[in-house]
Structure 1
Amino acid sequence: MDSLKSVWLGLILAASVGTCCAQPVPEPAPPRAPAWAYPVLPSTAPPAVPDDGVKHTLAGSRQAFTRAELFDLFTAHDWFPESHPPMPAVVVRGRPPEVRACGMCHYPNGQGRPENAALAGLPAAYIVQQMQDYKAGLRRSAAAHAGPHLRMVAAATHVSDEEVQAAAAYFAAQPYRPWITVVEADQVPLTQVVTGSMWAAMPGTAREPIGQRIVEVPQDLGLTELRDPRSGFMAYVPPGSVSRGRQIALQGEGAVLACVSCHGPDLKGLDPIPPLAGRSAQYLYRQLNDMRLGVRAGPGAAAMRGFIGQLSPQDMMAVVAYAASLPP
């Protein structure tokens, strides 16, 4: 009888210990810099597209450039110089060794690419403020080692106020044109990081689930490698993202103000608050994430942080998907 009691007591104790210790396992925190949003060219990647010495051309342009010329960080080679006013010296040539040509990365027309900002049509005062934030250490990145970010910090540290003002006025005067095509999809192309720290679709027709990410790639990688200022990007987003983002942007979410209350109807901006419509979804996500983490902490970012902190990463993806889907 005593042995039977001992057995029952042991079972009860074991059950109670199991119950006490079976705590819910918390979900892992999202990464500070998710790889899909912060592409970094691996150290094992081959060098930039090799120069074959051939002068390449684009339909409709009278210009011709080698690949080496197109990858020169201190010259913004311009396929269509007649399509915009003359570029300021800092935009077209920069100032070696620290200040790269603004138009090289952001394009002479300011359209930019997913790894950097589209400057066309931004308020000049906003551009000036961002350069001041970079210089003061108030605008950093969750992927602090990423090449585009490091180059911006170097430029902001060494550029003169006069050069910043000239570049800001030039890009603010350029119209931002439709550039991003947003597509909701369950399956997306396999991708790899290519020169410029951006994602590109791999050759072939292989697909994989999109999961919880945005996949933004050139519409035509060959034209993008030639820095064609007319060849834009595809942004694949999870199904339902655009409608979910529309709800948050137009109506808000809990204590989160509707995005349109500050960024204006159709998210086209209210000077000096920047426009969001039609801009790169990956770029916009990085900015929200950096503000949420506090690594981007300039005056505007500080005001945004409290609201963004109440949105999930999925909510942020939805908001930027909706913004990118709008006509600029």
Structure 2
Amino acid sequence: MAIPRLAGAAPAYLQQQLSFFAAGKRTSFWMTPFARALTPQQMRAVAAYYAAQSAPVEADAEALVPVPAGRHARGQTVFETGGGGAGVMPCAGCHGPAGQGMGPFPPLAGQSAPYVLGQLRRWKRGSDRDPMGKIMVMEVRGMNDADMQAVAAFVQSLSGNGPGSGSGNAQ
């Protein structure tokens, strides 16, 4: 099971995701009961803690996957300009040119390829009740699996998130 890197994410984004888990708008075997046990004040504290953390310089070797030749370049193209298929918007438009996250959109830089690919495939299946996830369901409609793999590999290659790197434009 791949898990997301939370270090450096915008505190507002993290708090929102905790509230989605608590309300059942987003589900996870691990996160739903944890989030439901938190008070709003505790959610703010958890979000602030993770937002202030720096991502490790080296990710877990288990989380990193080798990137086949040509896939990195294709992933960069889709990330920066779209082009993964009809109506595919560039990831950078919402997640920032370096994948640092912008406003309500989380940082992608340094996320493991298996995690990103799993999320993209989940959205492609249309299985997301999270209001923000519904945006991604629309965004990945035109992507094929090869482009999803390429984007996941490219995102993994971006530098990790520093403290608060995703919080610059957070609302």
Question: Structure 1 length normalisation: TM-score?
Answer: 0.45
- For residue 319 of structure 1, what is the aligned residue in structure 2? 151
Q: Which residue in the other structure is 1:235 paired with?
A: 65
Residue 152 of structure 1 corresponds to which residue in structure 2?
A: 31
Is the 1:178–1:278 Cα contact (8 Å) retained in structure 2? no
Q: Counterpart of 1:138 in 2: which secondary structure?
A: coil
The answer as to whether partners of 1:179 and 1:278 remain within 8 angstroms in 2 is no
Of all paired residues, the percent bearing the same amino acid is 34
Q: Deviations over 1:166-205 (max 9, x none)?
A: 000111011224334xxxxxxxxxxxxxxxxxxxxxxxxx
CA distance in structure 1 between the aligned counterparts of 2:100 and 2:56, rounded to whole angstroms: 12
| 1:303 alignment partner, one of 135, 144, 156 | 135
Match of 1:260 among 92, 112, 115: 92
Between Structure 1 and Structure 2, how many residues are aligned? Answer: 158
Map Cα deviations across residues 133-177 of structure 1 (whole Å, 9 max, x no partner).
21222223xxxxxxxx31211112222211111000111011224
Partner of 1:273: 105
From 265, 288, 293, give the equivalent of 2:120: 288
Query: Unpaired runs of 5+ in structure 1?
Result: 1-38, 40-114, 141-148, 181-217, 220-231
Q: Does 1:246 align with 2:46?
A: no
* 2:48 maps to 1:169: yes
CA distances 1:225-264 after superposition (whole Å, capped 9, x unpaired): xxxxxxx743223332111101101110131111111111
Unaligned runs of 5+ in 2: 161-171
Show structure 1 runs of 4+ deviating over 6 A.
none
Q: Distance between the aligned counterparts of 2:58 and 2:17, measured in 1? A: 22
Please give the alpha-carbon distance, in whole angstroms, between the structure 2 residues aligned to 1:153 and 1:322. 30
**Paired letter, 1:136:** A
Q: Is the 8 A contact 2:128 2:137 kept in 1?
A: no
Partner of 1:82: none
What is the TM-score of this pair, normalised by structure 2?
0.83
Q: How many angstroms apart in 2 are the aligned matches of 1:151 and 1:233? A: 19
Larger helix percent:
2
Larger radius of gyration: 1
Measured in 2, the distance between the counterparts of 1:137 and 1:237 equals: 35
CA distance in 2, matches of 1:171, 1:235: 25
The letter of the residue matching 2:144 is S
Map residues 156-235 of structure 1 onto 2, 5 A cutoff: 156-180=35-59, 218-219=60-61, 233-235=63-65
Report 1 or 2 for greater relative contact order, CA contacts < 8 Å, sequence distance ≥ 6. Answer: 2
- CA RMSD, aligned part only? 1.8
Query: In structure 2, how many angstroms separate the alpha carbons of the residues matched to 1:234 and 1:252?
Result: 24
